[in-house]
Amino acid sequence: MKRILVTAWLTALCYLLLGNVYAWDVPAFLRMNGGARMWFTELQGDLIQGDRTKLDLTENLGIKRTKLVYEFFGSARIENIHVLRVRAEPYTVYEQSGNDSSLKVSDWWIGYDLDFFMTPQMLLGANIDAEIVNIDTKVRNVTVGGNQYSYDSGDTRAIPMLGFHGTFYPIFERIALRPNVSGRVNWWNYNNLEAWDWEVASSVDIPVNNLWTWTVTNGYRFSHIKNRRNRDTLDVNRSGFFLETSILF
C-alpha cells in the first residue's frame, strides 16, 4: 500500500507543477529518450518435473517473493511513426536466505513500433520484439512428495514477441504539461515456449525547455514465461507496480 501511495503522490505532484514550463516542442524527424525503471516485483511460479511434480518457487524452494528490479531503456522515434526500442534488466537474483536455492534473471529486449494511427489525442500501433532472457534456477535440498531435489537448471532463450500498443493524451486547457495513459501487450506461444508481457501506465511529460522534456511514469506490469528445459519446465510469473523516469530530446 505504501508503494501505491508514493507512486500516486508523485504523479499528482507532477500535475501540480503547472508554472514556469515551456510549451511542448520537439524535433519532427528524430526524438530520442532514455531512462530507468524501478519495478516492485512479486514472484510466483513452479519448476515442473518430468513426472509432473511441481516445486513451488516460494513455498517449496523458499525463495523470497518480492524483489526490487532495476531496468534501463532507450528509444528513438524516426519520422514520427517508426520507433526503435531497447530495454535491459542486467541481473536480478531472487534468493532464499536459509539455503542456496535461487532464481537469477537477465532480460534484454530489442523492439520496433509502427504507429499506424495518430491523432492529437490518440496513438495506436503494432510492435515486434526480440526478448533475450536467461533464467537460472538453483534447487537445494527441497523435499516434495517424499522425494528430495537438488540440481541446477538454466538456459538462454531468444523469444520473438508480437503485440500492439496505444496511448491516449487528454487535452487540458491552460496546462503546459502533457499527461497520457498508455498500454502495451506482447505475446508468443510456440514449440514449448509461452510468453506474455503486458503493462498499463500513466505518465506526465514536463517540458523543461525547447530541447528536452522530463517524463515521470507509474504503472503495473505482468510478465509470464513457460519454458521447457532439459531438467524441468520453468513456469514463472512476475508482476507489480513500477515507477520510472526518463529524458526526451
Given the candidates 3.60.10.10, 1.10.3720.10, 3.40.470.10, 2.40.128.100, the CATH classification of the domain at 2-248 is 2.40.128.100
- The one-digit pLDDT tens for each residue of the chain (249 residues) are 556 555 555 555 554 444 444 334 444 567 899 999 999 999 999 999 999 999 999 999 999 999 999 999 999 999 888 999 999 999 999 987 677 899 999 999 999 999 999 888 899 999 999 999 999 999 999 999 889 999 999 999 999 999 999 999 887 766 667 789 999 999 999 988 999 999 999 999 888 877 788 999 999 999 999 999 999 999 999 999 999 999 988
pTM of the predicted protein model: 0.86
At residue 220, the pLDDT reads 98
At residue 26, the pLDDT reads 41
At residue 20, the pLDDT reads 41
At residue 21, the pLDDT reads 40
At residue 232, the pLDDT reads 95
Cα–Cα distances in angstroms (integers) from residue 12 to residues 60, 167, 238, 242, in the given order = 41, 19, 27, 16
Residue ranges per structural domain of the chain: 2-248
H or E stretch covering 4? helix 2-16
At residue 111, the pLDDT reads 98
Grid cell for residue 145? 512428495
| Rounded Cα–Cα distance for residues 53 and 217 (Å) | 41
| DSSP secondary structure of 79-145 | TTTEEEEEEEEEEEEEE-SSSS-EEEEEEEEEEEEEEEEE-SSEEEEEEEEEEEEEEEEEEEEEEET
